[in-house]
C-alpha cells in the first residue's frame, strides 16, 4: 500500500511539474527570443546589475525591441544568428535584449533614451552611470547595414577602439592591436631570452604558447579569432602582425616561409624557442583560399579561411576549450537559419473562440471590434507616451491633439466609461499647467504622475496585449498593436468625415495628428520613417471632405503591398493583400478581379469605384457601428459549442464586469493561463488527488492500530 501511495504521489508530482513547464513555455510565446537562443534577456530588475557590474570586463551589446514591431520581428533571426556566431566571445562580449513592450521595462527603456525600435546600444566594460565617457554607442550612428557581418565587425571595432579612450580597458583590447616592437611589452614577448621567457610574456601568468596571425590591415580574421579564443588566454596568447610589417616578419620567419608569403593570404604561426637560441616561427596554417577556391567569391573565401583556422585551434586546444566551457564548433554556422518569430508559436495557445469569430463566423468575420481600438489606445497612452520620457512642447501639443480627437470622434463613453474618463482627466491635467508646459515641456516623472492620477493602471490591467480580435496573431498581416493603430485612425477619419459632412468642412486634424504621433512616438522607427515619407505631400492631397478617409485607405494599401513584397517567402497574391478584396467588395472595383496582380501589375494599376469604396469604408469603420466589448461577449457566447473548448482553460463569459473583453476576467494577471489538459484530464487529476488522501489516511490507520483502539474506547 505504501508503494501504491508512492507511485500515486510520483504521478501527481509529475503532472504538477509538467503543468508548470507548460505555463513557463506559454509565457515565453509573447517574446521574440526564447531561452533556447543565445540572447540574454534582460528586464528592469536585471538590466543594471548585469550591464553595470563593475567586476566584469565585458562589453554588452543590448537590443531594445518591441514585440509588436514588424521590423523587430524581421530583425530577430539576424540578431539570433549574431548571438550564435559570437557566443564564444563571452569573456569579452555578450549579446542581450530588453523587450520594451512589457510594462515592467518601460522605465528602463525610457532611462536609456530609447527612441525607436529596434535600437542597439554597445555598452563599454565596467561603465558607470551618468558618466559622459561611459555613454553607450548607438549602432545607428555608424550608418552601417544591420547584417550579421556588419554588426560583428562593428563590435570588434568598438572593443579595439577602447584603447584610444581615456578609460580603463580590459586586457583583450591590447591583444587586438597589431604587434609593435617599439613597445617594451611587445618587444619582450618576441625577443625575450629562453630563461626569462616565462616572466616576460605578461602579468597574467604568461601563456605557454605564443601564436601570431599574419593578415592585411583591413582583415577582421585575427581580431575575431582573438575575441573567440581569449577565454583560454592562460594557455594561448594570440596576436596580430600585419603583412605590411615586412621587417618584423623577416626576422621572425624562416627565409623560405617569408619568401612564400602571399600579400593577400593570412597565415598562422607559432613562435618557438629552439636550443640554438633562434627565434623563428613555425607556420601552422595557411589561408590558400585563392588556390583551393579559385571561382568563389571573396566572402566565401573569407569564411573558408576562418573555418580552417578555427578547425586547427579547436583541435589543438580541445582540452582547454572543453574545460573553459567552450561551445560546440561554430564551423559552418553562418548558414544556420535560426527559428523565426512565427516558428515559435504554439498552436495550442490560440484563443479558438476569437479565431473562429474572425475567420469563420458569418457575422463576426465582417465586423470591426472596438476592443482592439481600446487596447491600442491603452498601449499608446500607458506605454509609448510613457516610455518617451521627457516631452518637448511640440510633443506635448501632439498628445493634446490626440486626446482631443479621441474624445471628439469616438463613442468612448459607450465603449468603456473608464477609458473615456482617462482621456478626459489626462487632457484636464495637461491643460492645468499648459502655459508652463508649452515653454518647458513635460518631465517624464510628471507624465507618470498624470497617468497614475488619471487611472491608467486600472485601464492597463483591463486591456492587456493578449487576445486581440481583428488584430489576432493568427494572421501575420493583422497582428497586435500596429494593426490596432490602423483600425483606430480609420475609425477616426470616418468619424471626422461624418461629423464634418453636414457643415461642409474639410476635415484634416485626424491625419495631421496621426502623422505627428507616428513620427514622434511610434516605437518602430522604420515604420515611422516610411510613414513620414508617405505624408510629405499630405496637405496638398486633402481637397475634399472625404479626402482624409480615402487618403488613409489608399496609403494603407500601399503599405500592405510593400510589406507583402518584402516577404518573398510568404508573399501572397495581390488580390488577397489589398483591401477590400474583390471577394469582400466586388462593386468597389472597375478592374476585373482576374486581372488584378497579373502580368506584373501592381496596386497602382487597379481602377476603383471610389464612391463604392467610400461607402464600404464608412459602413465598416463608422464608430457607432463598431462591435462594443459587451456585444463581443454576446457574439462569443453564441458560438459556444462550435469550437473545441477542451483546449481552452477558463470561461470568459462568467465575468460580472460590465465591460467585458476577452481578457477582463484575468485583469490582474500579465497573461491568461491556458492548458493542454481537457476537462476530463483535470477530473482524473482531481480523482487521483482525492484518492491519495484516502490512501494516506488508510496507511496511517494500518500503521498505527493503537490510534484506532484508543478512539473506540
d(CA 173, CA 157) in angstroms, rounded, equals 10
460 CB-side CA count, 13 A: 18
State the chain's maximal CA–CA distance in angstroms: 108
Residue 656 inside a domain? The answer is no
Low-confidence ranges of the chain (pLDDT < 70): 1-30, 54-55, 164-167, 183-207, 263, 273-279, 289-291, 294-295, 324-365, 473-478, 501-506, 567-569, 639-689, 700-713
| Same-domain status, 126 and 202 | no
Provide the pLDDT for residue 170.
82
Total count of domains within the chain: 4
| Same-domain status, 193 and 67 | no
Pick the last residue of a domain from 637, 659, 684.
637
Residue 54 inside a domain? The answer is yes
Contact yes or no for 262/242 (Cβ under 8 A): no
Provide the pLDDT for residue 26.
39
Provide the pLDDT for residue 702.
67
| Same-domain status, 208 and 353 | no
* DSSP code at position 544: S
Provide the pLDDT for residue 669.
29
Pick the last residue of a domain from 292, 311, 335.
335
| Same-domain status, 500 and 605 | yes
Beta bridge partners of 63: 97, 120
Residue 633 inside a domain? The answer is yes
Residue 127 inside a domain? The answer is yes
d(CA 317, CA 424) in angstroms, rounded, equals 68
| Same-domain status, 376 and 463 | yes
Instruction: List b or e across 547-573, with b for residues whose CB sees 16 or more CB atoms inside 10 angstroms.
Output: bbbbbbbbbbbeebbebbeeeeeeeee
Provide the pLDDT for residue 183.
67
| Same-domain status, 133 and 56 | yes
Contact yes or no for 124/134 (Cβ under 8 A): yes
| Same-domain status, 488 and 387 | yes
| Same-domain status, 61 and 9 | no
| Same-domain status, 63 and 207 | no
d(CA 661, CA 376) in angstroms, rounded, equals 13
Provide the pLDDT for residue 360.
59
| Same-domain status, 125 and 147 | yes
Residue 219, SS3 per DSSP: coil
Contact yes or no for 512/561 (Cβ under 8 A): no
Contact yes or no for 93/155 (Cβ under 8 A): yes
pLDDT, tens digit (0-9, with 9 covering 90-100), for 367-415: 899 999 999 999 999 888 888 888 899 999 999 999 999 999 999 999 9
Angle at 437 between CA 431 and CA 443, to 5 degrees: 115
Provide the pLDDT for residue 346.
42
| Same-domain status, 517 and 398 | yes
Pick the last residue of a domain from 335, 368, 398.
335
Provide the pLDDT for residue 332.
40
Beta bridge partners of 41: 97
d(CA 463, CA 465) in angstroms, rounded, equals 7
We report the CATH number of the domain holding residue 129 as 3.40.30.10
DSSP annotation string for 470-528:
TT-TTSTTS-HHHHHHHHHHHHHHHHHHHHHGGGT----HHHHHHHHHHHHH-SBHHHH
Residue 538, SS3 per DSSP: coil
d(CA 48, CA 629) in angstroms, rounded, equals 40
Provide the pLDDT for residue 192.
55
Residue 584, SS3 per DSSP: coil
Provide the pLDDT for residue 17.
40
Provide the pLDDT for residue 408.
93
Residue 280 inside a domain? The answer is yes
* DSSP code at position 608: B
Q: What sign has the CA pseudo-torsion 396, 400, 405, 406? A: positive
Contact yes or no for 100/106 (Cβ under 8 A): yes
- CB-count exposure of residue 6 (10 Å: 0-12, 13-18, 19+): exposed
| Same-domain status, 581 and 680 | no
- All cell numbers assigned to 677: 489538459
Provide the pLDDT for residue 344.
38
Domain hosting 20: range is 1-30+671-713
We report the CATH number of the domain holding residue 473 as 1.20.120.310
209 Ramachandran zone, left/alpha/beta (phi>0; psi -120 to 50) = beta
- Report H helices in 211-294: 221-229, 246-252, 255-259, 289-292
d(CA 362, CA 345) in angstroms, rounded, equals 27
- All cell numbers assigned to 36: 533556447
Amino acid at each position: 500500500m505504501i508503494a501504491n501511495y508512492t507511485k500515486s504521489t510520483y504521478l501527481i508530482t509529475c503532472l504538477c511539474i509538467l503543468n508548470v513547464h507548460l505555463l513557463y513555455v506559454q509565457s515565453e510565446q509573447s517574446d521574440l527570443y526564447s531561452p533556447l537562443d543565445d540572447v540574454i534577456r534582460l528586464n528592469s530588475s536585471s538590466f543594471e546589475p548585469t550591464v553595470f557590474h563593475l567586476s566584469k570586463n565585458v562589453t554588452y551589446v543590448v537590443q531594445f525591441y518591441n514585440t509588436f514591431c514588424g521590423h523587430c520581428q524581421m530583425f530577430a533571426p539576424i540578431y539570433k544568428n549574431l548571438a550564435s556566431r559570437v557566443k564564444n566571445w563571452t569573456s569579452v562580449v555578450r549579446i542581450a535584449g530588453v523587450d520594451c513592450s512589457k510594462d515592467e521595462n518601460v522605465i528602463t527603456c525610457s532611462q536609456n533614451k530609447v527612441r525607436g525600435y529596434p535600437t542597439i546600444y554597445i555598452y563599454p566594460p565596467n561603465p558607470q552611470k551618468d558618466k559622459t565617457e561611459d555613454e553607450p554607442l548607438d549602432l545607428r550612428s555608424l550608418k552601417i547595414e544591420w547584417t550579421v557581418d556588419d554588426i560583428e565587425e562593428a563590435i570588434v571595432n568598438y572593443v579595439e577602439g577602447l584603447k584610444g579612450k581615456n578609460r580603463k580597458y580590459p586586457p583583450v583590447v591590447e591583444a587586438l592591436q597589431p604587434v609593435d616592437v617599439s613597445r617594451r611589452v611587445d618587444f619582450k614577448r618576441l625577443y625575450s631570452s629562453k630563461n626569462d621567457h616565462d616572466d616576460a610574456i605578461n602579468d597574467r601568468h604568461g601563456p605557454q604558447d605564443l601564436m601570431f596571425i599574419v593578415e592585411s590591415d583591413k582583415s577582421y580574421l585575427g581580431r575575431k579569432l582573438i575575441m573567440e579564443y581569449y577565454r583560454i588566454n592562460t594557455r594561448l596568447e594570440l596576436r596580430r602582425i600585419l603583412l605590411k610589417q615586412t621587417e618584423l616578419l623577416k626576422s621572425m620567419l624562416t627565409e623560405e616561409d617569408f619568401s612564400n608569403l602571399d600579400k593577400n593570404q593570412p597565415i598562422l604561426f607559432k613562435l618557438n624557442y629552439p636550443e640554438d637560441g633562434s627565434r623563428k616561427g613555425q607556420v601552422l596554417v595557411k589561408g590558400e583560399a585563392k588556390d583551393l577556391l579559385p571561382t568563389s567569391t571573396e566572402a566565401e573565401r573569407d569564411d573558408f579561411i576562418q573555418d580552417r583556422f578555427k578547425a586547427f585551434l579547436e583541435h589543438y586546444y580541445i582540452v582547454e576549450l572543453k574545460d573553459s566551457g567552450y561551445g560546440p564548433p561554430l564551423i559552418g554556422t553562418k548558414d544556420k537559419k535560426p527559428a523565426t518569430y512565427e516558428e515559435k508559436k504554439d498552436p495550442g495557445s490560440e484563443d479558438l473562440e476569437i479565431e473562429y469569430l474572425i475567420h469563420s463566423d458569418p457575422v463576426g468575420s465582417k465586423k470591426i471590434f472596438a476592443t482592439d481600438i481600446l487596447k491600442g489606445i491603452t498601449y499608446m497612452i500607458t506605454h509609448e507616451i510613457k516610455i518617451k520620457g521627457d516631452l518637448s512642447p511640440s510633443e506635448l501639443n501632439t498628445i493634446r491633439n490626440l486626446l482631443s480627437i479621441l474624445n471628439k470622434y469616438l463613442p468612448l463613453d459607450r465603449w468603456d466609461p473608464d477609458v473615456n474618463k482617462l482621456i478626459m482627466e489626462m487632457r484636464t491635467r495637461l491643460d492645468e499647467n499648459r502655459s508652463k508646459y508649452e515653454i518647458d515641456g513635460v518631465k517624464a516623472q510628471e507624465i507618470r504622475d498624470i497617468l497614475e492620477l488619471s487611472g491608467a493602471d486600472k485601464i492597463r490591467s483591463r486591456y492587456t496585449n493578449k487576445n486581440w480580435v481583428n488584430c489576432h496573431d493568427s494572421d501575420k498581416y493583422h497582428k497586435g498593436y500596429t494593426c490596432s493603430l490602423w483600425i483606430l485612425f480609420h475609425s477616426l477619419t470616418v468619424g471626422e468625415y461624418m461629423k464634418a459632412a453636414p457643415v461642409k468642412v474639410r476635415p484634416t486634424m485626424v491625419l495631421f495628428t496621426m502623422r505627428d504621433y507616428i513620427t514622434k512616438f511610434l516605437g518602430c522607427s522604420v515604420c515611422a520613417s516610411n510613414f513620414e515619407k508617405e505624408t510629405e505631400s499630405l496637405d496638398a492631397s486633402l481637397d475634399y471632405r472625404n479626402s482624409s478617409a480615402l487618403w488613409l485607405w489608399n496609403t494603407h494599401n500601399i503599405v500592405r503591398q510593400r510589406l507583402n513584397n518584402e516577404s518573398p517567402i510568404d508573399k501572397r497574391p495581390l488580390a488577397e493583400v489589398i483591401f477590400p478584396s474583390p471577394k469582400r467588395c466586388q462593386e468597389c472595383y472597375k478592374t476585373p478581379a482576374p486581372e488584378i496582380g497579373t502580368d506584373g501589375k501592381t496596386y497602382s494599376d487597379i481602377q476603383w469605384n471610389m464612391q463604392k469604396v467610400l461607402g464600404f469604408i464608412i459602413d465598416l469603420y463608422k464608430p457607432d457601428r463598431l462591435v462594443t466589448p459587451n456585444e463581443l461577449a454576446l457574439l462569443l457566447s453564441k458560438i459556444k459549442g462550435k469550437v473545441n473548448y477542451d483546449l481552452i482553460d477558463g470561461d470568459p463569459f462568467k465575468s460580472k464586469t460590465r465591460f467585458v473583453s476577452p481578457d477582463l476576467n484575468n485583469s490582474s494577471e500579465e497573461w491568461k493561463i491556458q492548458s493542454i489538459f481537457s476537462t476530463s484530464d483535470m477530473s482524473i487529476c482531481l480523482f487521483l488527488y482525492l484518492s491519495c488522501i484516502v490512501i494516506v489516511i488508510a496507511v496511517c490507520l494500518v500503521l498505527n492500530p493503537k490510534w484506532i483502539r484508543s478512539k473506540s474506547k
